[in-house]
A and B are shown apart, each in its own frame.
Chain A
């Protein structure tokens, strides 16, 4: 039976934990709004870009002269997995879910006898898959210092990936990130970026464009940018998902702490009452003995 003093200390400690989780939840909520705005702001660019690329790819992609980024290398032996997670923990299953998806994907490829190479973005994911897949790591991108993900960060990652592709290091590249649905649900997603695939626009009302310079030159110019665009939007989705996941995780933690405080308070009150009753019994029995 813990003493009254112990119980009091525990209540105090749980209370301060609740204060911290509450503060983290509110910070995450504010950051989530900003991350969502950023994701929203990038959408027009991504949508138009993909629409134009879909048109271009459909008309110029069929030929043998199409760029490798679109056509692929003709093999799918070596796979590059770009696993994007957060730099910080305490965000529920966010990092774990992405890591799990990447791990099962990698293990499936390995079982098929393919070679797997992994680039990690964000240290939490790196830690999560190091034990199983550590020997496949080829590069790590640290975004700890980055307060707000900019297009430049995505470009840097894309350049690294493209340099490796041009160097013939891999055939297929897939990015892993979490798609933001809402605060309670983030869906871990795998998306193939090389060779690129663009969904054709819904309105198939194809306009015949003049291309300046040639169609092929534009395609060759834009495909590398497409990789950067895909990585950028994945980073933004990830940013929103991370904050959403943290917000709901911290909300849960705050509620749990509240329940715990209630329980401990009841226990504390009972113990105090027991002490009082004991003292009364002692006094009464002492008086009776006289």
Chain B
């Protein structure tokens, strides 16, 4: 089976660049798996776990914010925050959730329109769900 060129970059560094057979992406509208020959798609990301299957095994990354660009022969994920799953400890998750709660509080205080507030609330629940997925509990 042909592979796709997978790149994961965050603003601070390039985390990964491998030939992958399969990339599972936490899209804003639902998870999707990109393989060779996928229709060209651009999707925004929700906080979640990104899984890359390649010849050397399977890598998992925790990503948040940003987007993925899928073409027939490549997948580039540009995440605002991206960490290998092993580096996401309870502390890191707590920090991310605290930041999301902060944003939610700010949104409800200053904007107080359903749009931004709901978005911020969704961000929190996404983060909590992501925590559950990697076996950490949010408090």
Interface centre among B39, B78, B110, B111 (most CB of A within 10 A): B78
Q: A42-B11, A218-B42, A222-B67 are in contact. Are A213 and B78 (CB under 8 A)?
A: no
A213→B39 CA distance, assembly (Å): 15
Q: Do the beta carbons of B40 and A208 come within 8 Å of each other? A: yes
Q: Do the beta carbons of B69 and A52 come within 8 Å of each other? A: yes
Q: Do the beta carbons of A210 and B9 come within 8 Å of each other? A: no
A218→B44 CA distance, assembly (Å): 6
Q: Do the beta carbons of B27 and A212 come within 8 Å of each other? A: yes
Q: Do the beta carbons of A45 and B78 come within 8 Å of each other? A: yes
> B83 CB to closest chain A CB, in angstroms?
12
| A207 CB contact (under 8 Å) in B28, B44, B71, B80 | B71
- B residues 56-114 with Cβ under 8 Å of A? 65-67, 69, 71, 76, 78, 80-81, 110-111
Q: Do the beta carbons of B42 and A48 come within 8 Å of each other? A: no
Q: Do the beta carbons of A52 and B41 come within 8 Å of each other? A: no
Q: A163-B110, A225-B80 are in contact. Are A151 and B12 (CB under 8 A)?
A: yes
Q: Do the beta carbons of A41 and B41 come within 8 Å of each other? A: no
Q: Do the beta carbons of B12 and A207 come within 8 Å of each other? A: no
Q: A207-B71, A229-B11 are in contact. Are A151 and B80 (CB under 8 A)?
A: yes
Q: Do the beta carbons of B42 and A52 come within 8 Å of each other? A: yes
**Chain A residue with Cβ nearest B28:** A213
Residue A2 lies at the interface, judged by CB distance under 8 Å to chain B: no
Residue B19 lies at the interface, judged by CB distance under 8 Å to chain A: no
**Interface size in chain B (residues, C-beta < 8 A):** 28
> A245 CB to closest chain B CB, in angstroms?
23
A207→B31 CA distance, assembly (Å): 23
**Chain B residue with Cβ nearest A210:** B41
A41→B15 CA distance, assembly (Å): 10
> B14 CB to closest chain A CB, in angstroms?
5
Q: Do the beta carbons of B43 and A212 come within 8 Å of each other? A: yes
- B residues 111-131 with Cβ under 8 Å of A? 111
Q: Do the beta carbons of A48 and B71 come within 8 Å of each other? A: no
Return the CB mask of A156-167 against B: 1 if under 8 Å, else 0: 000000010010
A44→B43 CA distance, assembly (Å): 18
> B9 CB to closest chain A CB, in angstroms?
4
> A44 CB to closest chain B CB, in angstroms?
5
Find chain B residues with CB under 8 A from A218 CB.
Answer: 42-44, 67
> B7 CB to closest chain A CB, in angstroms?
7
Q: Do the beta carbons of A48 and B76 come within 8 Å of each other? A: yes
**Chain B residue with Cβ nearest A154:** B11
**Chain A residue with Cβ nearest B10:** A45
> A51 CB to closest chain B CB, in angstroms?
9
Find chain B residues with CB under 8 A from A222 CB.
Answer: 44, 67
> A200 CB to closest chain B CB, in angstroms?
16
> B13 CB to closest chain A CB, in angstroms?
5
Find chain B residues with CB under 8 A from A150 CB.
Answer: 12
Q: Do the beta carbons of B67 and A38 come within 8 Å of each other? A: no
A221→B44 CA distance, assembly (Å): 8
A254→B134 CA distance, assembly (Å): 55
Find chain A residues with CB under 8 A from B7 CB.
Answer: 44
Q: Do the beta carbons of B40 and A44 come within 8 Å of each other? A: no
Return the CB mask of A101-123 against B: 1 if under 8 Å, else 0: 00000000000000000000000
**Contacts A210-B39, A221-B67 known; 5 new A-B pairs at CB < 8 A:** A52-B42, A56-B42, A155-B80, A210-B40, A212-B43
Q: Can you name 25 A-B pairs with beta carbons within 8 Å? A: A41-B12, A41-B13, A41-B14, A45-B9, A45-B11, A45-B78, A48-B78, A52-B42, A151-B11, A151-B80, A155-B80, A207-B71, A209-B69, A210-B41, A212-B27, A212-B28, A213-B29, A213-B44, A218-B42, A221-B44, A221-B67, A225-B65, A225-B80, A228-B80, A232-B11
Q: Interface on B for A, CB 8 Å cutoff?
A: 7, 9-14, 27-29, 32, 39-44, 65-67, 69, 71, 76, 78, 80-81, 110-111
Closest 8 CB pairs of A and B: A212-B43, A210-B41, A151-B11, A45-B9, A41-B13, A209-B40, A44-B9, A209-B42
